[in-house]
Every structure is written in structure tokens, then in C-alpha cells.
Amino acid sequence: MKPTDPTHIAVVRVIDLETGGNGPQDVCEVGWQDVVQGEGGCWQIDAERGSHMVNPGRPISPETMAVHHILDRDVVGAPLWKEVAASVLQPDRPIQALAAHRAAFEQRYCTPRLTGGAQWICTWKCALRLWPHLPRFSNQMLRYQRMPEGLIHEIGLPAHRAMPGAYVTAHHLRDMLNEASLDQLLAWSAEPGLLPRIPAGPERGKSWDQVELAVLKAFLMDRDRDVRFTAENELARRGEGPSGRDMEPAQRSLL
């Protein structure tokens, strides 16, 4: 695909990070893949993608090495995160938003100071809304459950590396943007995840409309923010929530 004139397109940049630990600067690789709006308003995968190794400034933990297989020797001489972040997160071409799968993880490192205050799309949260029939919602499970058109298998490998991860996520995002508006994806991403099924406990696997009222109300005390949010939504749908019957169900609603 030929690069499109950057002055006449809408762009969302997908970001994927690999880290060496849990510290605020522990990024050891950043990858990106742009999704652009082409002729007729259709979103597509752009030619712009890439990755940088990043020096986390301390040894990479064995736990994270076991996930991405990046070794300390791979990041020797690489720039620190604070030195490379802005060039990736605020590229020369204007972008409408940044995106990531379970974007809260990337946002821990891609702070507003580094992103210029960019808005974020969480493709995990949006997948819950758009494809609630699917059994699993991890980036790689969506890849093989959905088999997105045009995804070149080899470019999306190895898994758990930054550029391949961003490339796979971008195919989900492209399809989402062609199904719902950018504003809608941003709105869904600003809320907790709306879970299509109960994730744990005796009611695990049931859809929320199958649960008795007393059990549903008990979920309001759950430690998981997504569970509480989803229970509140179902209660409101039943006319039992704080907004009563005035609140519309959020599942599959479009702006």
C-alpha cells in the first residue's frame, strides 16, 4: 500500500509497549502501526509502522523476559524512554487519537506530557461492545477468532513483541472504525469495560440478564471496576439502577 498524503487524512496511531519491569520508565520496546481514513471514509491499514528498542535503565526482569524474550544485551545503547517517546507518540503527521489493546497499560508509560494530551482508544473495551458474542477478548485471541482481512501472518509475529502486537491490534481497530464512529470508540474507551458475561464465581459464563436480582446487586460490591460497571448497567436496564428506566443500555449503542 502506498503512503497517503498526510495532510488530507485522519490518522489513529496504535501503540504497543514491552517493558522490563513495573517502574514508570521500564519500557524496553515500543511499536506502532497507523490506521488511516481513506477515500469514501473507509479506514485502512497504513504503510507507516515501526519499532524502537528502549533502554529501561536497569536490568530486565526474568518475568518480563519470559514474555517477550528481550534480553539486556538487546537494549544496550538504545535511548531511554523519555528520549524516544515523544517522537513516536507525537509524530510529524497529525493524529486524531492513540490506541492500544487494554490501553490502560500503555497509558501508565505514555503520560499526557509525552502524548501531548492525546485521546486514547482501548480496543479491548471496544471489542466487548462490538463483538460481545466472542468467547475471548485478548489481542491474539481476537486475531484467530476473527481472522481480520489482510492481516499478514508473518508481520504479526512474534507475538508479545511491540510492532507485531501493534500491527495485529491495528487490524481490530480498522474494523471497529468501519463499524462505529471514532467518537463512539473514544466514548466507550473512557468508560470501564462492559463485560458480556460474568467473568468469575458461581455464575461464571452467564450473560448478565440471566442472573437473579439479588445476585446482580451483590456484584455492586465487587473489587473489579468493570464488573461493578456492568452490574450497574444491567440494573439500570431492568429499571433498578440509580437512573431507573431513563438510562438506556450501553451495549451496542452508537453515538
Residues 227-243: pLDDT tens digits?
999 999 999 999 996 64
Whole-structure pTM value: 0.91
Does one domain contain both 75 and 103? Answer: yes
Residues 87 and 135 grouped into a single domain? yes
**Do 73 and 17 sit in the same domain of this protein?**
yes
Give me the domain span that covers residue 29. 6-190
Considering the domain architecture, whether residues 213 and 104 belong to the same structural domain is answered as no
Tell me: do 51 and 83 sit in the same domain. Answer: yes
Q: For the chain, how many structural domains are there in total?
A: 2
Q: Is 85 inside any structural domain?
A: yes
Torsion of CA 107, 109, 113, 119, to 10 degrees: -20
CATH code of residue 176: 3.30.420.10
Condensed to tens digits (0 to 9), the pLDDT of residues 11-63 reads 999 999 999 998 889 999 999 999 999 888 999 999 999 999 999 999 999 99
Q: State the pLDDT confidence band at 245, using cuts at 50, 70 and 90.
A: very low
- Using left for φ > 0, alpha for ψ between -120 and 50, and beta otherwise, residue 56 falls in alpha
Residue 175 has pLDDT above 90, yes or no: yes
In a domain, 251, yes or no: no
Do 81 and 140 share a domain, yes or no? yes
Please indicate, yes or no, if residue 200 is contained in any of the structural domains. Answer: no
Does 55 lie in the same domain as 136? yes
Query: Which residues neighbour 191 within 8 Å (Cβ) at sequence distance 6 or greater?
Result: 125, 229, 250
